Amino acid sequence: MRTIGTVMAILIVAAILYGGYLMVGLSLPYTEIAPNIDFLLTKTHIYHVTHWRISFYIHVFTSTLVLVAGLIQFVTRQRILHRFSGYVYSVVVLLFSGPTGLVMAFYANGGTPARVSFVLLSVLWLGTTTVAMWHVYQRQWQAHARYMLRSYALALSALTLRAYAFLIGYWGIDIRPVTAYILIAWLSWTINLLIAEVLIRKGWVAGLKNH
């Protein structure tokens, strides 16, 4: 069973790293800062809104850093590296990625159902990260690990959303685009959070302490 768990962990890490690599590729075109690139073609009606546009670029360009820094926390056994990556992750989430994600959530495609989902995602992401950091200063390592796992599960919605969108297209599922977007907007983070809770209850974070 331990061998199976190790293999699963390696596969998950590999999948996240590959997802991060793809995110870099998706982000690079936006360095042109132009309104006619990929996703922005669906946002021509609000591209002129300054706070949305700034939030979009900050969110896009910090996404890979969040994924990599978050992952390092769970795979390294080196205390200094764990702390450094944890602070980088938390600072970027709380000051940049989280707030900009919340701004973008109010303008999300898919209408009110999708916007509600993304607003909840952003609030929970900011909340779990804040609580995780609070537990650090309280030196409550077990609670810190649990909330950081929840936070990272929410961060991974950036990958799972795109994975679900790909699968719907790959499997040729007959569903209206708006309906599909609303569906993946909710599945992208709720399933991740459910998996995190299962891992917590199974004691996956039991050995993470004294960081």
Q: What is the pLDDT of residue 3?
A: 65
| pLDDT exceeds cutoff 70 at 2 | no
Of 103-117, 136-150, 193-207, the poorest mean pLDDT is in 193-207
User: Which class for 128: exposed (0-12), middle (13-18), buried (19 or more C-beta within 10 A)?
Assistant: buried
C-alpha distance from residue 34 to each of 44, 81, 145 (Å) = 10, 37, 40
Mean pLDDT, range 116-124, rounded to an integer: 98
Cβ(11)–Cβ(75) under 8 Å?
no
Tokens 């690079």 -> residue: 28
Q: What is the pLDDT of residue 206?
A: 58
* pLDDT, tens digit, 9 for 90 and up, residues 4-47: 557 777 888 888 888 888 889 889 999 999 999 999 999 999 99
Q: What is the pLDDT of residue 96?
A: 98
pLDDT band at 211 (very low <50, low <70, confident <90, very high): very low
Q: What is the pLDDT of residue 209?
A: 46
Q: What is the pLDDT of residue 207?
A: 47
Helices (H), 28-110: 50-75, 79-92, 98-105
Mean pLDDT, range 61-87, rounded to an integer: 92
* pLDDT, tens digit, 9 for 90 and up, residues 88-114: 999 999 999 999 999 999 999 999 999
Sequence ranges of the domains in the chain: 2-201
User: One-letter amino acid identity for 27?
Assistant: S
Q: What is the pLDDT of residue 160?
A: 96
Provide the 8-state DSSP code for 35.
S
Q: What share of the chain is helix, strand, coil (3-state, %, to 5)?
A: 80, 0, 20
Return the structure tokens found at 66: 């969040």
The rounded mean pLDDT for the chain is 91
Percent of the chain with pLDDT strictly greater than 70: 94
Select the more confidently predicted residue: 148 or 17: 148
What is the rounded CA–CA span in Å between residue 43 and residue 19?
24
Angle between the N-to-C axes of helices 111-137 and 79-92, in degrees from 0 to 180, rounded to the nearest 10: 140
Q: What is the pLDDT of residue 49?
A: 97
Q: Shortest CA distance to 13 belongs to which of 82, 71, 59? A: 71
What is the rounded CA–CA span in Å between residue 97 and residue 100?
5
